[in-house]
Amino acid sequence: MTIDEQITYLRKGTVDIIPENELRAKLEKSARTGKPLRVKLGADPTAPDIHLGHTVVIRKLRNFQELGHTVIFLIGDFTGLIGDPSGKSATRPQLTREEINANAETYKSQIFKLLDPEKTEIRFNSEWMDKLGSDGFIRLASHVTVRQILERDDFAKRLEEERPIALHELLYPLTQAYDSVALQADVELGGTDQKFNLLLGRNLQREYNQESQIAVITPLLEGTDGVQKMSKSLSNYIGINEPPQEMFGKVMSISDDLMWRYYELLTDLSLDEIQALKVSARLGGCNPRDIKADLAKRIITDFHSSTDAEEAELDFVNRFRHKQTPDEIEERNVSSNPSGWDLSALLATVGLAESKGEARRLIQQGGVSVDGERQTASNTVIQANVGMSKLLKVGKRRFVRVRFE
C-alpha cells in the first residue's frame, strides 16, 4: 500500500488518530528505513472472557500487524492489581494476583483467534513495574502533577459529586503511561475511555526523552440492545467463545441500523464495500436479513470456522424460517425497563400465562422460548430497552412478539 492507502486503511473504525500527521511521518520513516513501528495494546485481565466489544481494538492491532509492524499485546498483570478507574463512578474491587494470572492465560489463547501468534509479542507490565521499586515509583510520580491527573473527566466528576477517589486509582494512568516508556511504543491503541491514559503516555515519553507515541482511539461498540456499550454485566454481549449457533442468533437479533456499525467495526470490508451494501439494501437489491446473516457468518468464521458459520446459518433457517414461526404473529407493546423484565411477569402480562406462577411452571418444564432459545430458569430476566423486541413462544404454537416502548 502507499502511505495514503495505509492511512485510509488504519483510519477505518477509529474515532481519532492523535496526531494523524505524526502517524504519517512515522509510516514514511518506517518505509524508508525498513524498521517496523512498535504498536502497543494493553488489556487488564479483569475477566476471563473476551466479547466482540473487546475485539474492535484488537482488530485494529491486527491491521498494523498486516502492514508489517511489530505488535505488542500487553497484559496488565500489574495494573490489574490497581483496577482501571476509567469511566467508573466508584472505586472498583481489586483482583488478586491468582485471579489475574488465571484470566491472563485465557486472554493469551483468545487473542490469537485474530492475531498471528508468531508475529505477536506478549508482554506483562509486571516485568518492569516489579523491578521499579518504591524509590523508582516515587521518581516516576515526579514526572506528573496532581493537576494533570485530576483533569481526567471521571476523576473530576467524582470530586464534583463528592464521591471518594482512592489514592491508588490516581496512580493507574501514570502506570499505564510508563508502559509506553518501557516498551518504547510508537503507537498505542485504546478505546475512547482510554484517551486520557494514551495522551498521558505521549507526555511521559517526552519526559524520558523518547519520541511521543501516536494515540489511535477506537469507539466503544454498542451491545445487542443498540443502546449501552457491550458488557457482560448488561447481558448485551456476544462472547467470542460462545457456540456458533448462539452467536448467529444474537447477531440476527440486532437492529438493521446497528448492523452497519458492526460491519464497520467487526469485519474487514472497506467503507466503500459497506456503502455498496447499504445502497443495495435501500434499493431492494438485497434483503437486509440476508446482509445481516452474512455479517453473522463473517464474525463466526473469525472465531470458529467457515464450516461452523454455514452450519449455524442452516440451523437458524431451519428453526425460524422453515419450522416453528408462523407468518402472522400477534404483537404487543409493553413498557420498557432498563433493569429488564422478569420473564414470568412478562408472559403473564402479554397473556401467554394466566399468572406468574403458571409462567414459572411453564419455564421450568422447558416450554418457553425467547428468540428461539429455550428458557429453563424461573427467575430469568430479559433485556427490555426502548426499541427492542422479543419473540416469545409457549408450547408449540403460541407466539407473541413483544415490543418495548
Per-residue pLDDT band for 327 (boundaries 50, 70, 90) equals low
pLDDT value at position 381?
A: 87
Residue-wise pLDDT tens digits, 219-271: 999 999 888 889 877 778 899 989 999 899 999 989 889 999 999 999 999 99
pLDDT value at position 372?
A: 74
Q: Whole-number mean pLDDT of the chain?
A: 89
Rounded to whole angstroms, the Cα distance separating 94 from 100 reads: 10
Rounded to whole angstroms, the Cα distance separating 74 from 83 reads: 15
How many Å is the maximal CA-CA distance in the chain? 75
CA distances in angstroms from 270 to 3, 156, 263, 276, listed in the order given: 17, 39, 9, 10
Burial class (CB within 10 angstroms; exposed 0-12, middle 13-18, buried 19+) of 80:
buried
pLDDT above 70 coverage of the chain, percent: 95
Residue 378 pLDDT more than 80? no
Burial class (CB within 10 angstroms; exposed 0-12, middle 13-18, buried 19+) of 168:
middle
> Positive or negative, the Cα torsion across 319, 321, 324, 330?
positive
Burial class (CB within 10 angstroms; exposed 0-12, middle 13-18, buried 19+) of 118:
exposed
What pairs with residue 7 in β-bridges? none
The angle subtended at Cα 360 by Cα 358 and Cα 364, nearest 5°, is 120
pLDDT value at position 194?
A: 92
**Which amino acid, residue 367?**
G
Residue 94 pLDDT more than 70? no
CA distances in angstroms from 296 to 14, 266, 270, 387, listed in the order given: 22, 10, 17, 21
Helices 288-303 and 306-320 cross at an angle (nearest 10°) of 140
Reduce the DSSP state of residue 398 to 3 states and report it: strand
> Closest Cα partner for 179 from 56, 26, 72?
72
> Closest Cα partner for 24 from 38, 3, 9, 10?
3
H/E/C letters for each residue in 76-118?
CCCHHHHCCCCCCCCCCCCCCHHHHHHHHHHHHHHHCCCCCHH
The average pLDDT across 139-157 equals 90
Residue-wise pLDDT tens digits, 53-80: 999 999 999 999 999 999 999 998 888 7
| Length of the chain (residues) | 405
The secondary structure of 170-182 as a DSSP string is HHHHHHHHHHHHH
Residue-wise pLDDT tens digits, 261-276: 999 999 999 999 999 9
Rounded to whole angstroms, the Cα distance separating 237 from 56 reads: 13
pLDDT value at position 51?
A: 93
In this structure, the dihedral spanned by the alpha carbons of residues 133, 135, 141 and 143, taken in order and rounded to 10 degrees, is: -110
pLDDT value at position 168?
A: 85
First to last CA, the chain: 48
371: DSSP letter: T
pTM of the model: 0.76
Per-residue pLDDT band for 178 (boundaries 50, 70, 90) equals very high
Residue 391 pLDDT more than 80? yes
φ, ψ of residue 202 in degrees (nearest 5): -60, -45
Residue 93 pLDDT more than 80? no
pLDDT value at position 91?
A: 57
The average pLDDT across 22-50 equals 92
Domains recognised in the chain with CATH numbers: 3-218 (3.40.50.620), 244-320 (1.10.240.10), 330-404 (3.10.290.10)
Residue of 211 and 288 predicted with greater confidence: 211
Reduce the DSSP state of residue 402 to 3 states and report it: strand
> Closest Cα partner for 22 from 40, 3, 44?
3
Rounded to whole angstroms, the Cα distance separating 111 from 45 reads: 12
Pairing status of strand 187-191 against strand 214-218: parallel
pLDDT value at position 336?
A: 87
> Closest Cα partner for 67 from 26, 42, 36, 40?
36
pLDDT value at position 184?
A: 97
Task: State the cell numbers at 194.
Answer: 482510554
Residue-wise pLDDT tens digits, 333-346: 999 888 889 999 99
